[in-house]
Amino acid sequence: MKAWHPLVLIALMAGCDSASETDGKPKKEAKKSYEPQFRKDGWLVFLNADQRDTLASIDIEVVQQPDELQFGMMYRMSVPENTGMLFFMPREELQSFWMRNTYVSLDILYINADKRIVSIVEKAKPLSDESLPSKGPALYVLEVAGGYCAQHKIEAGHYVQFAHNRTTAALR
């Protein structure tokens, strides 16, 4: 039989004690869920087709790294009011997004290098693997809460302007 040093026994008992409350009932550990929080990197304004009138403005989270592009709005349970996520795509080309692991409905705006909205997918269905392609080449993709475009009368052919504080040469 092995003899235990008294300090080792005290340490082991202290570790066991952390698993129970003073009333003898086991502690309930809260389930931890992963939900990324909105990060304000800049702002974006929506302009009408002649670029003279501002239709709306939002705060934006800028996404451009490969892992950020892959996850986007996944695992978010809500979209704060007047916010969006602006994706800087590697090339201006036909783009396609889906709603895998995305719990909220989104409007997805495809925007070309001239910052003109080429197409909009309105109220995309949450948790869907359906491909949601652009109707023309896009360099930027913007996700906002589902219904935002209809509410603010934002349409294909309108423009965006934005500014951000992400400091990397890859951003335009």
Give the pair of three-digit tokens for residue 5. 């040093």
Q: Is residue 79 part of a domain?
A: yes
pLDDT at 33 over 80: no
The residues pairing with 73 across neighbouring beta strands, listed in sequence order, are none
Is 172 part of any domain?
A: no
Tell me, what's the pLDDT at 30?
A: 56
Which of 69, 35, 159, 171 lies closest to 109 in space, CA to CA?
A: 159
Instruction: Let me know how long the chain is.
Output: 172
Does the pLDDT of residue 3 top 60, yes or no?
no
Q: Residue 107 domain-assigned?
A: yes
pTM of the model: 0.78
pLDDT at 21 over 70: no
Residue 43 within a domain: yes
Question: What is the CATH classification number for the domain harbouring 108?
Answer: 2.60.120.1140
Give the HSE-up count for residue 170: Cα atoms under 13 Å, Cβ half-sphere: 12
Range of the domain at 152: 39-164
In this structure, is residue 30 part of a structural domain?
no
